[in-house]
Amino acid sequence: MTLSAGRGPWIWIGKQAVKQGSLKQWFKSGAPGIWMSGGAVAIAVIMTLGLISVIAVRGLAHFWPADVIEARYAVPGEAPRTIMGEVVQAEEVPLERLKGAGLPVPEDGPKFMTRELIKLGNRELNGSDFAWVVGDWLQDQKKPTDVIALERREWGNFYGYLINVKEDGKIVAEGEAAIPTLRERLDRISELADQIGQLEKVDIGGINYGLERLRLRERGLELDNALDATAQADLAAERSELEARYRTFEDQLVSLRQDFDRDSLTLRDATGRETEVRLANVVHAYQPNAMSTLQKLGFYFAKLWEFLSTDPREANTEGGVFPAIFGTVMMTLIMAVIVTPFGVIAAIYLREYAKQGPLTRLIRIAVNNLAGVPAIVYGVFGLGFFVYVLGGSIDQLFFRESLPSPTFGTPGLLWASLTLAILAVPVVIVATEEGLARIPRSVREGSLALGATKAETLWKVVLPMASPAMMTGLILAVARAAGEVAPLMLVGVVKLAPTLPVNLNYPYLHLDQKIMHLGFHIFDVGFQSPNVEAARPLVYATALLLVLIIAGLNLSAVAIRNRLREKYKALDS
Amino acid sequence: MTETRSPARIDFDSPTLRRKRRWRAKMDRFTRWYVLVGGLTVLVAITLIFFYLAYVVLPLFKGASISAEEPQSPAWMQQAGMPLALSLEEQNEVGMQISAAGEMIFFNAADGSELSRQALPIPTGAQIVTVAQDLVRPFVALGLSNGQALVVRHSYASVYPEGKRVIVPRVDYPYGEAPITVDPQGRALEHLSLTADDEQLTLAASNASELQVFKLTLEENMLTGETTLESQRIDLPRLAQTVQALYLDPRGQWLYVINGRVSADVFDLRDRTLNGHYKLIDDASNQVTASAQLLGGISLLIGDAKGGINQWFMARGNDGEPQLQRVRGFKLGDAPITQIVAEQRRKGFIALDNKGNLGVFHSTAHRTLLVDKIAEGSGLLTLSPRANHVLLAHEGQLQGFELNNPHPEISWSALWGKVWYESYDKPSYVWQSTSASNDFEPKLSLAPLTFGTLKAAFYAMLLAAPLAIAAAVYTAYFMAPRMRRKVKPVIELMEALPTVILGFFAGLFLAPYVEGHLPGIFSLLLLTPIGIILTGFIWSRLPESIRFRMPEGWESLLLIPVVLLTGWFALSMSPYLETWFFGGDMRLWISHDLGITYDQRNALVVGLAMGFAVIPNIFSIAEDAIFSVPRSLTYGSLALGATPWQTLTRVVILTASPGIFSALMIGMGRAVGETMIVLMATGNTPVMDWNIFQGMRTLAANVAVEMPESEVGGTHYRVLFLAALVLLSFTFVMNTLAEIIRHRLRKKYASL
């Protein structure tokens, strides 16, 4: 389609003049190249923002109490059945694909049908809590306001109608009165659950830990041939004291549990089956269809807070991610403490003390490149060197009593932090060096001319001025370390850690313990969970959290760097 | 310090100040040393990675070594004569031998002293003609001169009287103390082979050219606990030549009969037919002198009179029928091989020739680890179950050897070449490091993993390289500075995204989405450029009043809605395209009509996700290189009348091309080492196929998957370290080259 060339006025595209209208000329002018390259930028921006918004939308939507629908599902040729649940996803699908899935689709119908993923809940009754249904076959859809949704400690959600509330098998409330009674008793249950958790984890956990330490002390004494009668008597006394305390706690626990198990609910599901659910098993109970938007918003934020502050439940597919947040923060903190002094010293050496020559240049290139070495390589190194060589020797020297079960000779918090420190140290070195290089020579020379020694110049003049650069480097290092998962899989993360690495048991900080980590949590729950469908929203939420943390860290590094540049611009002039 | 009022009277040489000066000087020196030592330590520590990896990998390539112990001449040996069979137990402490007189003698393997002896219940008048041992289990069968066979089990128990370990040998007869009649006519059993476990025993025996196969099954009554023996005889045709050796396949499929000078007959025990008659050696002056079965019983090792050892096993031939094929050959020396002993845990073996040369070999790796003269002339050899101790009975003497052979499985050909594995029809590249069974042949070829790594990197670069470079060109050269300040943080954000998030997104969102919208994805690739160009052209034809509202350098902003729109259009067209052209399901169409395997998590998804990870890396370096092209060059070109595009393609890009190249290399390095994305977005199957719809397994993902399960210090562990070392070296070389190129470029710019 060659348009008449040579006619019409001249136009400007970019910085050049071309005759209007001629496609050929337009192509010759190179404008398509400009547009194409501009398009590449647009695509890159869309990809980034698109990814983040998909994660954000899916992650944040998870906490919203969606309406529960009830409908008759009539598959042609089968008896219709009533189903109840939340619509999770809906898509248009070509007829052939449904046919391929073995569904009795009509031959002469429309070319496309909707397919919906419905969260049915009631896993103990239905076998699975999700089902794909053909939207066109759902009849009489309604949203009954008295539907109640239960979030449970086991078996996932329950959707149905509340019939009554029982106490020790006797009905205490029925019909209209059942809901307020349920609310009341649910508050009691959650209080009891807190108490039981405290007893089990803190009190009894502490005693178990004490008993284990006693056993190790005995074994240690035995190894040193110092296990005489007095020592044995001491140990026995301590042990019996711990056991006595254990018994009192256990009695408390038993009575608490009895209280805990007192109440139960009778519920009817969509098909009319009645079931009894122990109230102890219920975490939340709400009536999504009856809630106003404001109530839903309140519920939403409560759930969001729960996600951030509680332990995971049901093989990590429900509940919160607090241990993972804690583990990530703890590990990055320890890493930062290790990496800062070492990175800064190496940078000072390279920039201030080393003779600038080919060797220094070589070292600099090597350090630069180490930042580009695949993270998994650091993981392999960490496992081989830190865990097996260093950890193994530490066990031989200091923890002989607990051998053959390893203390430090197995992946753990310390080794994870150290491995990430090695991985991140080049980042700190490069950033600090850059900061040192930016400090004008005149400042150093001024200090030296006033009689300060090199060390004093360094300590009092150069380092304070370079501190924002170090800060930038440190933040970037932390951001890199917080997002790195591959090496951690080898040196210290687990899918479920029984206790936090910091707790009330002496020595309070347990460097040998394995930790949970947000990134690994995503991998584990998203890919190795038995119920991926149920876990998916939680994975999105966790991913969003991680993105936010890392984006926040990076943006603060950028902000500091920009402030720093402004500062030295003033110095230069 | 006290009188500081009047400056004239300050005494700079007061003792306090002197002390302070000295202190300051000391601190200065201290800082210097501190920084020196500290800095160097850190730098050394990070280079330690390379050396530590190499240190772990190195033992893989070391050969075997052997050290002789003092020869012993125990009294029992002088009296009982040369043993008929010899064996060692797990801990290398107790040895067992069977004497011609029918006694099982247990002795201390270190000093040769006798521990206990047990007379075997051999019927009077019968002699032991031959002895056969199971490949792994401690069963021994004695072939007797009266056509009967006696099956004995020798086991060892560790007991700890007074806290010290003592190994107590035990002899029992799970298949009865009475000998089993194998040859009903009572002819001597000249050759014997057995496979046995706790429930089933198979014996094959021969007399001259006559074959007997006898199967015994031990059945325990669930209620009474009584055991009964079921026996079954398999009749086989008579052979033309005299039998030399017999081998039973432990899976019960084949019976290998070495007969005559150079031939082997293979019988199918299930069909009771002859599979074929094979000539093992073509050389007329040569003959079979020794043979053995490799661990698992699939392979036969045939030693000949000229010092060669060849491995044979049943593999499907050209006609699709299983036939005995020569797989690989080894050479010990030039003297006839007298004995071949297979290892009990690995696919290795040792061999002895009649000049007393010992060879240590590994079949899969096709590796000769050691050839050493250990005796004058031949003897009887045995190898301990852990393959770390060799015992030689030779001229009335007993000599032990410490054999150090930790990693025979690895060789250059095993890692990178095609290897013919047992039960495979032809040599191939396979990675399969572990299996549930004990006699498994580890397949440790890094080739499929390296291939997978390159495939993933290739598809990632296919997406990332054009996008990133085009975007860098535009950002550095055309984009308005105000927009540039907004775009760069977005790209930096892209770079900061943790790969676990990209991987999870690719695996859980993209993979099913792509599967459901295949036509849309492909039309997206086609429509987006068309849409962009069309927009550009339409824009150029719009009236000036509209065009001038957008200053130059903001085209990208205009294109964002265009790209979104074409994307939306392409994806919403997808189901229609699918119904019109692909019968409603493109995935099915691909696998049925095109015959291409389709995995949900495939190279396309990996390419998209990893491209995402690589784009910012390439972008920032390329952008930097283009942006720092001296302005004088650009202005010169423009002043001479070149259009901006001409200036860009002929001046700017040419000048910056080394920088762009180094950006690509760094991107490649990143793609090669990426772990989480590949781990999550592919099925992790180590296949070698360029098919974009199939997954792959990369070196990095493989390390992440298998490392936690590998045994510390084992071959598998070290091979994984090797994979890490390969990755490290590759990225290090790529990055160093890129760095050097950029350094040169910076120098060039400085001189311009």
Ranked by mean pLDDT, which of A27-31, B584-588, B665-669 comes out on top?
B665-669
Structure tokens at B323: 């036939």
SS3 B307: coil
- B8-17, B328-337, B380-389: which has the minimum mean pLDDT? B8-17
pLDDT of B545 > 70? The answer is: yes
Residues A235-280: pLDDT tens digits?
888 889 889 989 998 898 999 888 888 888 888 888 888 888 888 8
A204: closest CA of chain B, how far (Å): 32
Confidence bin at B469 (pLDDT 50/70/90): very high
Q: B517 and B506 in one domain?
A: yes
Kindly determine whether residue B700 and residue A522, on different chains, have CB atoms separated by under 8 Å.
no
What pLDDT does A208 receive?
Answer: 87
Do B469 and B603 lie in a common domain?
Answer: yes
Token couple for B39:
């800095």
Q: What's phi and psi for B213, nearest 5 deg? A: -125, 135
Buried b (16+ CB within 10 A) or exposed e, B101-125: ebebbbbebeebeebebbebebeee
Q: What is the DSSP annotation of B637-676?
A: HHHTT--HHHIIIIIIHHHHHHHHHHHHHHHHHHHHH--H
Give the structural domain span for B580. 456-751
Among candidates B24, B588, B666 on the partner chain, residue whose Cβ is nearest the Cβ of A100: B588
Task: Give the residue with greater pLDDT, B324 vs B750.
Answer: B324
Task: Find which of A35, A103, A532 to mutate to test the B interface (most B CBs within 10 Å of its CB).
Answer: A35
Residues B35, A93: C-beta atoms closer than 8 Å? no
The reply to whether B15 falls in a domain is no
Cβ-in-10-Å burial (0-12, 13-18, 19+) of A563 comes to exposed
The CATH number linked to B482 is 1.10.3720
Whether residue A536 and residue B508 make contact (CB cut-off 8 A), yes or no, is yes
CB contact under 8 A, B27 and A36: no
Q: Say yes or no: B399 and B463 in one domain.
A: no
Contacts of residue A11 in chain B, CB cutoff 8 Å? 540, 544, 547
What pLDDT score does A1 carry?
35
- Say how far residue B703 (Cα) sits from the centre of its chain: 10
Stretch B45-65: mean pLDDT, rounded? 88
**For chain B, how many structural domains are there in total?**
3
- Segments of A398-463 assigned E as strands: none
Regarding whether B589 and B644 lie in a shared domain, the answer is yes
What SS3 state is found at B107? strand
CA distance B695 to chain A (A): 16
Same domain, B727 and B694: yes
Task: Kindly identify which residue of chain B lies nearest to residue A41, measuring between CA atoms.
Answer: B471
- Cβ–Cβ below 8 Å for A14 and B52: no
AA letter at A417: S
Q: How confident is the model at residue B668 (pLDDT cuts 50, 70, 90)?
A: very high
Same-domain check for residues B539 and B649: yes
- For residue B50, what is the nearest residue in chain A, using CA coordinates? A381
- Smallest Cβ–Cβ distance between A368 and the set B43, B672, B739 belongs to B739
Which of A317, A338, A356, A377 would you mutate first to test chain B, the one with the most B CBs within 10 A? A377
Q: What is the nearest CA distance from B384 to chain A, expressed in angstroms?
A: 27
Q: Which of B232, B247, B279 is the last residue of a domain?
A: B279
| H-type alpha helices, A7-89 | 23-28, 31-61
Q: Which residues of A touch B674 (CB under 8 A)?
A: 374
Question: Which amino acid appears at position B20 of this protein?
Answer: K
B264 and B298 in a common domain: no
User: When comparing pLDDT for B750 and B626, which is higher?
Assistant: B626
Rounded to a whole number, what is the distance in Å from the CA of A122 to chain B's nearest CA? 25
Q: Tell me if A419 sits within 8 A of A379, measured CB to CB.
A: yes
Report the residue of A373, A495, A538 to disrupt the B interface, i.e. the one with the largest count of B CBs within 10 Å: A373
For residue A541, the number of C-alpha atoms closer than 13 Å in the C-beta half-sphere is 26
Taking only the tens place, the pLDDT of each residue in B72-82 is 888 888 887 78
Q: Does some domain include residue B442?
A: no
Quote the CA–CA distance of B752 and B746 in Å, as a whole number: 10
Residue B2 domain-assigned (yes or no): no
Verify that B286 and B241 share a domain, yes or no: no
Each as own residue / partner, the long-range contacts of residues B365-368 (CB below 8 Å, 24 or more positions apart, any chain) are B365/B408, B365/B409, B365/B410, B365/B411, B365/B413, B365/B414, B366/B328, B366/B330, B366/B411, B366/B413, B366/B414, B366/B419, B367/B408, B367/B410, B367/B411, B367/B414, B368/B330, B368/B331
Distance CA B146, CA B436 (A): 42
Query: Which residues in chain A touch residue B707, judged by CB atoms under 8 angstroms apart?
Result: 379-380, 383, 490
Q: Tell me the count of A-B CB pairs closer than 8 A.
A: 358
**Is B296 found in the same domain as B238?**
no
How far is residue B708's CA from residue B466's CA, in Å, rounded to a whole number?
38
**pLDDT for position B14:** 86
The reply to whether B462 and B413 lie within a common domain is no
Lowest mean pLDDT among A98-107, A435-444, B386-395, B677-686: A98-107
For residue B447, being part of any structural domain is answered with: no
Q: In which band, very low, low, confident or very high, does the pLDDT at B221 lie, cut at 50, 70 and 90?
A: confident
Residues in chain B with CB shorter than 8 Å from the CB of A547 are 497-498, 501
Rounded average pLDDT over B678-682: 89
Domain boundary among B231, B262, B279: B279
Q: Which residues of A touch B471 (CB under 8 A)?
A: 37, 40-41, 43-44
- B363 and B271 in a common domain: no
Chain A residues inside the 8 Å CB shell of B552: 14-15
Quote the pTM value.
Answer: 0.89
Spell out which residues of chain B touch residue A551, defining contact as CB-CB under 8 Å. 493, 496
**pLDDT score of B564:** 92
Residue B6: what pLDDT?
Answer: 56
Residues B661-675 have a mean pLDDT of 90
Q: What is the mean pLDDT of chain B?
A: 87
Contacts of A546 in chain B (CB under 8 A): 498, 500-501
Is B732–A369 a contact, with Cβ atoms under 8 angstroms apart?
Answer: yes
Contact A345 B38 (CB under 8 A): yes
Interface test with B, best of A26, A47, A353, A380 (most B CBs within 10 A): A380
B130: left (phi over 0), alpha (psi -120 to 50) or beta: beta
Residue B72 belongs to a domain? no
Domain-ending residue, one of B279, B303, B334: B279
Sequence length of chain B is: 752
Task: Tell me the one-letter amino acid at A462.
Answer: V
> Are residues A378 and B49, on separate chains, in Cβ contact within 8 Å?
yes
Exposure of A159 in the CB half-sphere (CA atoms within 13 A)? 27
> Among A35, A388, A429, whose Cβ lies nearest the Cβ of B712?
A388
Q: At what angle do helices B715-751 and B653-673 cross, to 10 degrees?
A: 160
In a domain, B611, yes or no: yes
Chain B residues in contact with A453 by the CB 8 A cut-off are 24-25, 27-28
Asked if residues B189 and B208 have their Cβ atoms less than 8 Å apart, the reply is: no
Average pLDDT over residues B120-126: 85
**Neighboring chain A residues of B527 at a CB cutoff of 8 Å:** none
- ipTM score of complex: 0.87
Contact B43 A363 (CB under 8 A): yes
CB < 8 Å to A15, chain B: 552, 638, 643-644
Q: For strand A69-73 and strand A170-174, is the pairing parallel, antiparallel, or unpaired?
A: unpaired
| Residue partners of B615: CB distance under 8 A and separation at least 6 | A44, A47, B464, B467, B468, B471, B491, B494
Number of H helices, E strands in chain A: 19, 15
> Hey, are the CB atoms on B563 and A46 less than 8 Å from each other?
yes
| Shared-domain flag, residues B556 and B474 | yes
Distance between B416 CA and the closest CA of chain A, angstroms: 21
Residue B436 covered by a domain = no
Q: Which 3 state secondary structure label does DSSP give A168?
A: coil
CATH number at residue B420: 2.130.10.10
The per-residue pLDDT string of chain A (573 residues; one tens digit each, 9 = 90 and over) reads: 333 333 445 555 555 555 555 777 788 778 888 889 999 999 999 999 999 999 999 888 888 888 898 888 888 888 888 888 888 888 888 777 777 777 787 777 677 788 888 888 888 887 778 888 888 888 888 888 888 898 888 888 889 888 888 888 888 888 788 888 888 888 888 899 889 888 888 888 888 888 888 888 888 888 888 778 888 888 888 889 889 989 998 898 999 888 888 888 888 888 888 888 888 888 888 888 888 999 999 999 999 999 999 888 877 778 889 999 999 989 998 999 999 999 999 999 988 888 888 888 888 888 888 888 899 999 999 999 999 999 999 988 888 877 778 888 889 999 999 999 999 999 899 889 988 888 888 889 999 999 899 999 998 888 888 888 888 888 888 888 888 899 999 998 888 887 888 887 777 888 888 899 999 999 988 888 877 778 888 899 999 999 998 888 888 887 887 777 777 666 654
Distance between A377 CA and the closest CA of chain B, angstroms? 5
Nearest Cα of chain B lies from the Cα of A305 at a distance, in angstroms, of 22
> Cβ contact (<8 Å) for B739 and A99?
no
Look at residue B93 and tell me if it is in a domain.
no
Query: Nearest chain B Cα to A51, which residue?
Result: B505
Q: Do residue B46 and residue A367 have CB atoms under 8 angstroms apart?
A: yes
Q: In this complex, do B673 and A374 lie within 8 Å of one another by their Cβ atoms?
A: yes
